[in-house]
């Protein structure tokens, strides 16, 4: 009896015979032993296994195949009993007891009795399609361990997952990724298995099996393979049927395989005879049923559902005959679409059919959201199926496809959909706050395959950040960017694996049941396709005259992809002015970019950052770029350069020759004291035009400060200097102060964050501030100056002190110093910004400071400090200060801003 039952279950599986070909990987584990009878006693633990994956990849097939293997004794000694529970079917059942639920599936269960089953360690329960359950928000509070107490089915299954029922059974749950959040709340330490469907070789085999002629099978397979979106969908039978019909008619399958919309449209047209009676009415009814199911998050329909819409089985006959809609194998008297994607496609079609917008037909579609709701982020998060419906809607907005629909089904297509889609993409909900939103837009626009629509949608977009996570993202972006002529700034991030040279082994912690790496020739062909799309994407750099900014960061490129990108940069029609290359591999890419930028007249800003290998070739190219007669580079940042000192002679010479460079940022480069001495030689040269210099975290000490002080006296163009995160100490500050005290020194900004400065250093700083100093911004944050604040206050009281911005964040300032600071603020007429964050003021310190700040004559515009804003006394003082000094902005947060200082270099 058991054998017959599970053979019947397997017979109704649409992928009969292919269970062994499905590819899966265990997430976070290295072995797959739960179905093995050879497990040791330590492995015999309570186990919940979750098969997760997109719709149609074979989760149900795999679960049923394992049950069949058990029933046929291919897995001896594993389980005594097994139960298959379909959530799709059970979701329509009313309240019942758990005993009744199991008895319906297996009459033997009632005979065994709850006591026996509850103690059984060798029971397997398959919960198929958890995502089909309507899980109530209060489910967690309704969990019940009573076998005989009637409960809604979701509560019973939730109790089973929480192990209140059958606590020692092995549970096998299948679900789509969107329901994982709810499932995680119910299961304890599950084993997650990601089902990925067929591997490429298996898909190829499936096509060869479906087609009689091998050449047709391979042609159809290659067409599918050329579309990443289609290739990873699971509806193999429908795809083969559709393409086979086209090839038999002598038609080219390539246009059909371009997008899911084009293929599903062709499938729908092929499966329905134009001679069928009342075809427009049937299509309208079918699309209404699909849309209502999507919004209700159900894929199963019974006679009552049809009756509510005024439909009968005869109304849907053309689509039942064409297998678009089918009698469900698990639930008698119910219908389901061939595949979830078919339902999503038809739901999108509902919005396209003339007169189908909710409310236009007497309210019969009131439970279906309008187009704006369909495309809203909020609704898509609540109901993930709406996302793919949105893709199909963009795809159906294509005018040629609309004409094909009208010709095949004799229906009228709404002309308003296109404009509504454009309105939605320009709304606040589609304002691209993240790269994920941008990727969503690219996918939607690509699906349309309508160049005019893409061009119109991209008109208002001047900045775009693209995160290319797969070849599919690359395909979408390359199609869309060609039409975004208003684009001015572009950010690119390319994940590992898109290009051949960067392929690696599987991620650690993932056990794969079969080798998942394609053969080398197949991978080379895939790489060729990716490089073709990459060429199209990069061509925007030379075809769009408005594009002036490019950042490529956190990217895994290849020799070929770097060469293609550089070729576009070197073209005369490329107008890039600002280029950022940050954390890019392979390492030689930095050299290639430098070579491409030599003599680039439009380039004014360049950043090379992230373990930049400063080898001979890279420095040589940089120097050539700086010395080139057409060089207009104004800003250069070389972040984290290793072995920089070995090449400083050439670089210093280039600085003397170059007459355009105004800002140089060498943050985190291995410069050292000797390197600074060489650099200072160039800075003192009359032809050096540098105004901004950052040597943050360059391993500097007191030793180099005399050279720097000398440079500050000689070079009157240098106005901004950052020496943060260097161990200069009080001795280094003393030497710098000597240079800063000279009237020839024109320095306006000095950043000395985290430089080991104490009270003594503050005395030297105070002395030059009281003289004729040009300094207007001084950042001493994260130095233990403590009582050294008294010297700074003395300087602030002097009319000759020109400071406008003072950073004292995290300086260990003592509580008794606040009166001195309040006195200084009361008399100072220039200070506009003061940062006291990460210092403990106490209530008395806050009171003293705020009393001083009530004066309307205070020039202070921004104050940051740490205090308890919730205190009634503090709130009262804050209100009084803001009332008397409304231009003052007070920030009571203790955290420091993301930037290391208030000295932001111009980019």
Determine the pLDDT at residue 802: 94
If one compares 687 and 502, the residue with the highest pLDDT of the two is: 687
Cross-strand pairs, 555: 584
Alpha-carbon gap, residue 23 to 199, rounded angstroms: 6
CA nearest to 843, candidates 865, 823, 811, 861: 865
* 628 lies in the same domain as 592: yes
* 243 lies in the same domain as 307: no
Residue 63 CB neighbours (<10 A): 24
Determine the pLDDT at residue 535: 96
Instruction: Answer whether residue 231 is part of any domain.
Output: yes
Strand 191-198 versus strand 22-27 pairing type: antiparallel
Sign of the torsion angle spanned by Cα atoms 861, 866, 868, 873: negative
CA nearest to 71, candidates 23, 121, 25, 126: 126
Parent domain of 233 = 200-258
Tell me which of 747, 772, 807 is where a domain ends: 747
Determine the pLDDT at residue 359: 43
Determine the pLDDT at residue 76: 58
**Mean pLDDT of all residues in 741-760:** 95
Instruction: Answer whether residue 517 is part of any domain.
Output: no
Which tokens is 286 given?
């079918």
Distances (CA, A) of 482 to 539, 570, 590, 592: 8, 19, 26, 25
Where residue 506 falls among pLDDT bands split at 50, 70, 90?
Answer: very low
Determine the pLDDT at residue 139: 63
Three-state DSSP at 831 gives coil
Alpha-carbon gap, residue 886 to 883, rounded angstroms: 6
**Mean pLDDT of all residues in 332-357:** 86
**Mean pLDDT of all residues in 296-309:** 86
If you search the block for the tokens 């911005």, which residue do you land on? 805
Alpha helices in 148-251 (DSSP H): 153-161, 180-184, 200-210, 214-225, 228-231, 236-248
Where residue 398 falls among pLDDT bands split at 50, 70, 90?
Answer: very high
Determine the pLDDT at residue 237: 73
- The mean predicted confidence, pLDDT, of the chain is 83
CA nearest to 751, candidates 905, 867, 876: 905
Where residue 209 falls among pLDDT bands split at 50, 70, 90?
Answer: confident
Residue 833 CB neighbours (<10 A): 17
The three-state DSSP-derived secondary structure of 24-52 is EEEECECCCCCCCCCCCHHHCCCCEEEEE
Strand 777-779 versus strand 489-494 pairing type: unpaired
Tens of pLDDT, residue by residue over 278-297, are: 788 888 889 999 999 999 88
DSSP secondary structure string for all residues of 315-369: GGHHHHHTTSEEE-SSSTTEEEESSHHHHHHHHHHHHHBTT-STTTTTTTTTTS-
Examine the pLDDT at 713 and tell me if it is beyond 90.
yes
Determine the pLDDT at residue 119: 57
Is residue 188 within 8 Å of 65, Cβ to Cβ?
A: no
* 813 lies in the same domain as 847: yes
Instruction: Answer whether residue 90 is part of any domain.
Output: yes
Alpha-carbon gap, residue 803 to 785, rounded angstroms: 18
CA angle 671, 674, 678 (to 5 degrees): 90
**Mean pLDDT of all residues in 607-623:** 78
Q: Is 237 exposed, middle or buried (0-12, 13-18, 19+ CB in 10 A)?
A: middle
If one compares 607 and 415, the residue with the highest pLDDT of the two is: 607
Examine the pLDDT at 403 and tell me if it is beyond 70.
yes
**Mean pLDDT of all residues in 532-553:** 96
Q: Rounded to the nearest 5°, which phi and psi values hold at 326?
A: -135, 155
Q: pLDDT exceeding 70 applies to what percent of the chain?
A: 83
DSSP secondary structure string for all residues of 468-480: E-SHHHHHHHHHH
- Of the given ranges (33-37, 109-113, 432-436, 454-458), which has the lowest mean pLDDT? 33-37
Alpha-carbon gap, residue 308 to 205, rounded angstroms: 44
Tens of pLDDT, residue by residue over 62-78, are: 888 877 777 666 555 56
Which tokens is 651 given?
């670089």
Highest mean pLDDT among 307-316, 761-770, 816-825: 761-770
Residue 393 host element (H or E) = helix 385-396
Determine the pLDDT at residue 431: 60
* 46 lies in the same domain as 91: yes
Output the pTM of the full model.
Answer: 0.81
Determine the pLDDT at residue 41: 46
Determine the pLDDT at residue 558: 94
CA angle 457, 446, 593 (to 5 degrees): 90
Alpha-carbon gap, residue 195 to 25, rounded angstroms: 7
Q: Rounded to the nearest 5°, which phi and psi values hold at 307?
A: -65, -40
Determine the pLDDT at residue 304: 85
Alpha-carbon gap, residue 871 to 894, rounded angstroms: 16
Alpha carbon 384 to chain centroid, angstroms: 16
* 817 lies in the same domain as 781: yes
Examine the pLDDT at 347 and tell me if it is beyond 80.
yes
- Rg of the chain's alpha carbons, rounded to an integer? 35
* 181 lies in the same domain as 211: no
Tens of pLDDT, residue by residue over 460-501, are: 899 999 999 998 999 999 999 999 889 999 999 999 999 986
Three-state DSSP at 452 gives helix
* 250 lies in the same domain as 287: no
| Tally of CA atoms within 13 A in the half-sphere of 754 that contains its CB | 10
Where residue 27 falls among pLDDT bands split at 50, 70, 90?
Answer: low
**Mean pLDDT of all residues in 693-713:** 95
End-to-end CA distance of the chain: give it in Å, rounded. 76
Three-state DSSP at 886 gives coil
If one compares 66 and 594, the residue with the highest pLDDT of the two is: 594
Determine the pLDDT at residue 614: 64
Residue 277 CB neighbours (<10 A): 10
What is the number of H-type helices and E-type strands within the chain?
A: 39, 25
Determine the pLDDT at residue 120: 63
* 898 lies in the same domain as 756: yes
Which tokens is 185 given?
């709340």
Examine the pLDDT at 360 and tell me if it is beyond 80.
no
**Mean pLDDT of all residues in 864-873:** 81
Determine the pLDDT at residue 907: 54
CA nearest to 685, candidates 713, 715, 710, 661: 715
* 881 lies in the same domain as 848: yes
Q: Rounded to the nearest 5°, which phi and psi values hold at 511?
A: -100, 125
Distances (CA, A) of 552 to 142, 467, 608: 52, 10, 10
* 771 lies in the same domain as 839: yes
Determine the pLDDT at residue 16: 44
* 56 lies in the same domain as 204: no
**Mean pLDDT of all residues in 509-519:** 42
Where residue 434 falls among pLDDT bands split at 50, 70, 90?
Answer: low
| Tally of CA atoms within 13 A in the half-sphere of 708 that contains its CB | 28
Cross-strand pairs, 834: 806, 863
Residues 6+ away with beta carbon under 8 Å from 146: 98
* 252 lies in the same domain as 323: no
Is residue 860 within 8 Å of 806, Cβ to Cβ?
A: no
- Of the given ranges (512-516, 609-613, 676-680, 713-717), which has the lowest mean pLDDT? 512-516
Phi-psi region of 138 (alpha: psi -120 to 50; beta: other; left: phi over 0): alpha
Determine the pLDDT at residue 117: 63
Examine the pLDDT at 14 and tell me if it is beyond 50.
no
Tens of pLDDT, residue by residue over 76-107, are: 556 777 888 988 888 778 888 888 888 876 66
Instruction: Answer whether residue 434 is part of any domain.
Output: no
**Mean pLDDT of all residues in 845-867:** 86
Alpha-carbon gap, residue 245 to 2, rounded angstroms: 40
Examine the pLDDT at 322 and tell me if it is beyond 90.
no
Is residue 260 within 8 Å of 229, Cβ to Cβ?
A: yes
If you search the block for the tokens 């394609």, which residue do you land on? 518
Tell me which of 713, 728, 747 is where a domain ends: 747
Where residue 522 falls among pLDDT bands split at 50, 70, 90?
Answer: low
Instruction: Answer whether residue 473 is part of any domain.
Output: no
Phi-psi region of 668 (alpha: psi -120 to 50; beta: other; left: phi over 0): left
Where residue 901 falls among pLDDT bands split at 50, 70, 90?
Answer: low
Determine the pLDDT at residue 634: 94
Tell me which of 425, 445, 463 is where a domain ends: 425
Determine the pLDDT at residue 387: 92
Is residue 558 within 8 Å of 534, Cβ to Cβ?
A: no
**Mean pLDDT of all residues in 213-241:** 78
CA nearest to 453, candidates 490, 480, 487: 480
Residue 271 CB neighbours (<10 A): 19
**Mean pLDDT of all residues in 343-359:** 79
Instruction: Answer whether residue 379 is part of any domain.
Output: yes
Query: Domains in the chain: how many in total?
Result: 5
Residues 6+ away with beta carbon under 8 Å from 384: 176, 178
CA dihedral 754, 759, 760, 763 (to 10 degrees): 100
Tens of pLDDT, residue by residue over 786-797, are: 999 999 999 999
Alpha carbon 771 to chain centroid, angstroms: 53
Beta strands in 87-169 (DSSP E): 123-128
Residue 601 CB neighbours (<10 A): 12
The 510-512 sheet, strands edge to edge: 81-86, 123-128, 170-175, 48-52, 191-198, 22-27, 510-512
Determine the pLDDT at residue 702: 97
Determine the pLDDT at residue 618: 80
Is residue 89 within 8 Å of 330, Cβ to Cβ?
A: yes
Examine the pLDDT at 443 and tell me if it is beyond 60.
yes
Alpha-carbon gap, residue 877 to 862, rounded angstroms: 16
Alpha-carbon gap, residue 18 to 765, rounded angstroms: 78
Instruction: Answer whether residue 562 is part of any domain.
Output: no
CA dihedral 12, 14, 20, 24 (to 10 degrees): -120
Q: Which CATH number do you get for residue 603? A: 3.80.10.10
Instruction: Answer whether residue 660 is part of any domain.
Output: yes
CA nearest to 320, candidates 282, 348, 292: 282
**Mean pLDDT of all residues in 201-223:** 84
Residue 269 host element (H or E) = helix 260-271
């Amino acid at each position: 009896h058991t054998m017959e039952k599970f053979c019947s279950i397997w017979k109704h599986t649409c992928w009969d015979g292919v269970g062994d070909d499905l590819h899966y990987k265990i997430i976070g584990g290295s072995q797959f032993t739960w179905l093995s009878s050879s497990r040791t006693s330590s492995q015999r633990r309570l186990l919940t296994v979750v098969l997760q994956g997109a719709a149609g990849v074979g989760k149900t097939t795999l679960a049923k195949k394992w049950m069949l293997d058990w029933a046929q004794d291919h897995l001896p000694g594993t389980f005594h009993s097994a139960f298959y529970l379909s959530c799709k079917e059970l979701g329509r059942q009313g309240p019942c007891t758990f005993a009744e639920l199991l008895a319906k599936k297996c009459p033997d269960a009632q005979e065994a009795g709850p006591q026996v089953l509850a103690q059984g360690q060798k029971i397997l329960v398959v919960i198929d399609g958890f995502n089909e359950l309507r899980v109530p928000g209060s489910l967690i509070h309704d969990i019940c361990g009573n076998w005989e107490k009637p409960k809604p089915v979701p509560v019973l299954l939730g109790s089973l997952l929480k192990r209140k029922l059958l606590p020692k059974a092995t549970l096998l749950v299948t679900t789509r990724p969107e329901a994982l959040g709810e499932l995680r709340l119910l299961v304890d330490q599950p084993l997650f298995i990601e089902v990925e469907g067929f591997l490429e070789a298996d898909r190829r085999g499936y096509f060869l099996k479906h087609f009689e002629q091998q050449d047709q099978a391979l042609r159809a397979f290659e067409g599918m393979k050329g579309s990443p979106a289609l290739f990873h969908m699971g509806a193999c039978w429908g795809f083969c049927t559709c393409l086979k019909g086209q090839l038999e008619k002598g038609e080219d399958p390539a246009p059909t395989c371009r997008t899911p919309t084009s293929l599903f449209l062709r499938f729908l047209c092929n499966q329905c005879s134009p001679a069928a009676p009342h075809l427009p009415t049937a299509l309208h009814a079918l699309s209404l049923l699909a849309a209502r199911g999507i919004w209700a998050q159900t894929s199963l329909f019974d006679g009552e559902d049809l009756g509510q819409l005024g439909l009968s089985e005869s109304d849907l006959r053309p689509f039942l005959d064409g297998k678009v809609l089918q009698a469900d194998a698990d639930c008698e008297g119910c219908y389901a679409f061939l595949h979830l994607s078919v339902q999503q496609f038809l739901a999108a079609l509902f919005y396209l059919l003339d007169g189908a917008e909710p409310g236009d037909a007497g309210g019969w579609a009131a439970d279906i959201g309008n187009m704006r709701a369909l495309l809203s982020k909020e609704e898509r998060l609540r109901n993930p199926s709406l996302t793919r419906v949105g893709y199909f809607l963009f795809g159906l907005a294509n005018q040629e496809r609309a004409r094909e629909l009208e010709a095949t089904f004799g229906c009228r297509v709404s002309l308003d959909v296109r404009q509504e889609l454009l309105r939605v993409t320009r709304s606040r909900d589609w304002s691209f706050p993240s790269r994920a939103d941008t990727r969503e837009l690219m996918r939607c626009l690509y699906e349309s395959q309508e160049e005019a629509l893409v061009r119109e949608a991209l008109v208002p977009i001047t900045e775009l950040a693209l995160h290319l996570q797969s070849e599919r993202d690359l395909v979408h972006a390359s199609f869309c960017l060609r039409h975004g002529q208003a684009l001015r700034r572009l950010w690119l991030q390319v994940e590992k694996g898109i290009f051949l040279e960067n392929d690696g082994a599987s991620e650690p912690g993932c056990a794969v049941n079969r080798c998942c790496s394609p053969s080398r020739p197949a991978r080379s062909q895939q790489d060729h396709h990716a490089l073709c799309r990459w060429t199209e994407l990069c061509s925007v750099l030379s075809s769009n005259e408005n594009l002036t900014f490019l950042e490529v960061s956190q990217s895994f490129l290849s020799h070929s992809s770097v060469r293609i990108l550089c070729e576009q940069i070197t073209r005369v029609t490329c107008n890039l002015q600002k280029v950022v290359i940050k954390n890019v591999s392979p390492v030689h890419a930095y050299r290639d970019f430098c070579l491409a930028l030599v003599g680039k007249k439009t380039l004014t800003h360049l950043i090379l950052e992230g373990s930049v290998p400063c080898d001979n070739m890279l420095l040589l190219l940089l120097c050539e770029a700086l010395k080139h007669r057409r060089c207009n580079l104004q800003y250069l940042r070389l972040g984290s350069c290793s072995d920089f000192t070995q090449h400083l002679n050439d670089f210093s010479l280039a600085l003397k020759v170059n007459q355009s460079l105004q800002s140089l940022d060498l943050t985190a480069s291995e410069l050292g004291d000797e390197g600074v001495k060489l650099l200072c030689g160039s800075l003192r040269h009359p032809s050096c035009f540098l105004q901004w210099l950052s040597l943050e975290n360059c391993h500097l000490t007191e030793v180099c400060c005399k050279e720097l002080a000398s440079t500050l006296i000689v070079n009157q163009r240098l106005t901004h200097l950052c020496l943060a995160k260097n161990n200069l100490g009080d001795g280094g500050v003393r030497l710098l102060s000597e240079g800063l005290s000279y009237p020839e020194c024109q320095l306006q900004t000095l950043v000395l964050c985290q430089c080991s400065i104490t009270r003594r250093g503050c005395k030297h700083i105070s002395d030059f501030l009281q003289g004729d100093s040009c300094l207007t911004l001084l950042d001493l944050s994260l130095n233990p100056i403590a009582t050294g604040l008294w010297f700074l206050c003395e300087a602030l009281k002097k009319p000759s002190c020109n400071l406008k911005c003072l950073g004292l964040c995290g300086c260990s300032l003592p509580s008794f110093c606040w009166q001195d600071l309040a006195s200084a603020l009361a008399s100072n007429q220039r200070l506009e910004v003061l940062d006291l964050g990460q210092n403990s003021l106490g209530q008395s310190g806050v009171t003293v400071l705020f009393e001083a700040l009530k004066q309307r004559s205070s020039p202070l515009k921004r104050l940051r400090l740490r205090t308890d804003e919730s205190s009634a006394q503090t709130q009262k003082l804050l209100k009084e200060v803001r009332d008397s000094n409304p231009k003052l902005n007070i920030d009571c947060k203790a955290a420091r801003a993301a930037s290391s200082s208030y000295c932001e270099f111009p980019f």
